[in-house]
Amino acid sequence: MVVRTNLKRARHGTVLGELKTEHSRRRLNLPIVVCEALERWRKIQDEDRARLGVAWTDSGLVFTSPLGTPIDPDGFSKAFKVIASEAGLGDWHIHELRHSAASLLLGAGVPLKVVSEYLGHSNVSTTGDLYAHVLPAQFAEVARTVDDTLFG
């Protein structure tokens, strides 16, 4: 997947806009399960497109309304909050998925620089500042590695 633009709310609806930084424009390797889900979603969109004919708007976006138009970001955020609450997650905002993904990656030992580039941060210190709470959990592993390496 390639991140090229973002969808922003404007005075007259939604518009595709420029990303914040050059680092935001990037290619992402997605997990197989996500690719499979996107393939299923594409088939649903193809069915909607065929059923609606000229009423379908081909926005070129992956996630659209049932008519093919861009999804209103505010409406999507509100719907996500309801879904998260019903799933027992509590009062979550959509951005918490990004935060959770970064925390899980760092907790699993993915290097900070790699996570930073995956998130599109222009500076690794941004990632470190936002997700530093994950790193102390790895300190015990660092101590064990030093013990094993130096003292067998």
Which residues are registered as beta bridge partners of 3?
A: 26
46 in the same domain as 3: yes
pLDDT at 59: 87
The tokens describing 9, both together, are: 């709310």
What count of Cα atoms within 13 Å lies in the side-chain half-sphere of residue 23?
Answer: 14
Domain co-membership, 35 together with 62: yes
129's tokens: 């500042």
Along the 152 residues of the chain, how does pLDDT read in single tens digits? 788 888 888 888 788 888 877 777 888 888 899 999 999 999 999 999 999 999 999 988 888 888 999 888 888 899 999 999 999 988 999 888 888 888 888 888 899 999 998 888 888 998 888 877 766 666 777 788 888 898 87
Q: What is the CATH number of the domain that holds 13?
A: 1.10.443.10
Judge if 72 and 102 occupy the same domain: no
Same domain, 21 and 75: yes
User: Phi first, then psi: what are they for 18, rounded to 5°?
Assistant: -70, 150
The residue range of the domain holding 124 is: 94-152
Q: Which residue do the tokens 């659209």 mark?
A: 64
Give the pLDDT confidence score for residue 43 in this predicted structure: 94
* 137 and 86 in a common domain: no
- Do both 8 and 79 map to the same domain? yes
User: Same domain, yes or no, for 86 and 108?
Assistant: no
Looking at the fold, whether 75 and 143 belong to one and the same domain comes out as no
Are 12 and 63 part of one and the same domain?
A: yes
Inter-residue contact 123 to 130 (CB < 8 Å): no
Yes or no: say if 67 and 53 are a contact pair by the CB < 8 Å rule.
Answer: no
